[in-house]
Amino acid sequence: MVNVVRETNGNSLTIRLSGPIEESVNFDELVGAVPGELRIITKDVPRINSVGVKAWIKFFQGVSARGVKLVFAECSTAIVEQINLISNFTSGGSVESIYVPFACNQCKAELIGLFSCDALKAAGLEIPDVQCSKCPGKAVFDDIPEEYLGFLQR
């Protein structure tokens, strides 16, 4: 079951979603009144299935149609996959930052790193290696760049 934590800051509402989005979710009820800007943080959304995607798109298209500015931040890898697969997944909103999967060369640990989309674009969509958090080894990007970062080239 997905949980929503709301945080209002002036004319902006930030919602932090956590849990898998796998059934018909009543986002209208969960999110409540939305002001001029809605920031959506999905760091803790591990999965979303086709039913969840339908509810997601219906809700965000409705909000966007009312003139609300949508900003998606700290997108989990599951959400990034959907952004790449479904062209209107963000309903015209912007994607501020995403989690990127890494795998360690030495201990095979799987890690994630947060990157701002502006920084990725400025770096020519090159994702640098990162220090493994579990051993002295180097962790490298663990997906297909053209696919995982495809939405940034649209």
Residues in contact with Zn ion by the rule CB under 5 A:
104, 106-107, 109, 132, 134-135, 137
State the DSSP code for 108: -
Question: 104 vs 149, which CB is nearer to Zn ion?
Answer: 104
Alpha carbon distance 44, 55 (integer Å): 18
For the CB of residue 80, give the shortest distance to Zn ion in the complex, in Å.
Answer: 23
> For residues 69 and 138, which CB has a smaller minimum distance to Zn ion in the complex?
138
In angstroms, rounded to a whole number, what is the distance separating the alpha carbons of residues 3 and 10?
Answer: 23
Cβ of 49: how many Cβ atoms within 10 Å?
12
In the complex with Zn ion, the residue whose CB is nearer, 86 or 107, is 107
CB contact burial 12-34 (16+ within 10 A = b; e otherwise): ebbbbbbeebeeebebeeebeeb
The distance of closest approach from Cβ of residue 140 to Zn ion in the complex, given in angstroms and rounded to an integer, is 11
Smallest gap from residue 135 Cβ to Zn ion (A) = 3
Q: Of 8 and 133, which CB lies nearer to Zn ion in the complex structure?
A: 133
Q: Rg for the chain (alpha carbons), in Å?
A: 16
| Shortest separation between residue 103's beta carbon and Zn ion, angstroms | 9
